[in-house]
Amino acid sequence: MIDFKKEILAIKKQKNAVILAHYYQIPEIQDLADYVGDSLGLSQQAAETDADLIVFAGVHFMAETAKILNPAKKVVLPDLKAGCSLADSCQPNDFKAFLAKYTDYTVISYINCSAAIKCMSDIICTSGNALQIVNSLPADEKIIFAPDKNLGAYINKMSGRDMILWDGVCEVHNILKKEKIIELKITNPDAKLIAHPECDAAILELADFIGSTTALLAYTRKNEAKRFIVATETGILHQMKKESPDKEFIIVPADETCSCNDCAFMKMNTMEKLYLALKNEKPEITLPQDVIDQAKKPIIRMLDISKALGLI
């Protein structure tokens, strides 16, 4: 039986590799990663790493973003099938036809989209900077926001804008139900409800705090409350418990019978696949140079605005 943890750490050192992991990864992967973070933090890490090999423990669009930002590095993803329902909801040909209906619009795309969609975008954003990115544009700027309509509607509400929204959702967050949350709030009146902005507006209206995974984690660490109802993917609980061992976290279940708010794509990565990806340096993420050049522009614009605003 292979000791995956021991082998991964040894090969990582030998190959000068870095393991970047999203908060929705299984706890074992989070615990041996060099960096665990949200999409914004992971992008910045990918752009700045001097490692020779980037092993991305996340989903496809994240590894693709790492390749776009640091094309000289080899980027591997433990399972190439680790996609994203939100990214899948926005196919390039459909998006092109959609954009053709709106000339003179600035296109802001959430990072959860393919490289092809990034190539058609003016600025990328993440849940950690979407509001600030939108607010950095003139108040009368006409904006299209894709692909998450829940995040887009939330930003419209917070910014007072009227952005045109692409009709996409994350299946994991969108399945969470208001009724279940009200029930949990009634039975746990002392608990704070925290939610990711990919959730439906009916849930966000009930939340005490809304933010990216990093922001949710920071809130649970800093807030004086001892109990939290958590409306997002289950993986984040690992860091919450580690950072605040004296606090209690109640994950909002999708329903009584399934664990649908485990992101099936995120959970495709296992210790064994991570070990094999590192050892064999595949499956590798590759992209044509013209796609890298075009998709990089809106991501760099996001990172520049984020740096100027002190967000990273």
Task: Catalog residues that contact ligand SF4 under the rule CB under 6 A.
Answer: 59, 84-86, 112, 170-172, 198, 233, 263, 265-266
**Position among 25, 30, 39, 220 found at the interface with ligand 13P (CB under 6 A):** 39
φ and ψ of 171, to 5 deg: -65, -30
Smallest distance from ligand SF4 to CB 55, Å: 17
Binding partner at 64 among ligand 13P, ligand SF4, none, C-beta below 5 to 8 Å by kind: none
Identify the CA nearest to 102 among candidates 165, 174, 60, 58.
165
43 is a contact residue toward ligand 13P (CB under 6 A): no
Smallest distance from ligand SF4 to CB 148, Å: 8
Binding partner at 128 among ligand 13P, ligand SF4, none, C-beta below 5 to 8 Å by kind: ligand 13P
Smallest distance from ligand 13P to CB 38, Å: 3
**Position among 56, 118, 128, 295 found at the interface with ligand 13P (CB under 6 A):** 128
Name the one range near ligand 13P by CB under 6 A: 124-132, 133-141, 244-252, 280-288: 124-132
Residue 126 to residue 215: CA distance in whole angstroms? 12
Q: Which residue has the tokens 């053709």?
A: 100
Strands (E) located in 111-169:
123-125, 143-146, 164-165
Binding partner at 302 among ligand 13P, ligand SF4, none, C-beta below 5 to 8 Å by kind: none
Residue 125 to residue 129: CA distance in whole angstroms? 6
Do 229 and 182 meet the contact criterion of CB atoms below 8 Å apart?
no
Q: What is the dihedral of CA 28, 32, 33, 34, to 10 degrees?
A: 160
65 is a contact residue toward ligand 13P (CB under 6 A): no
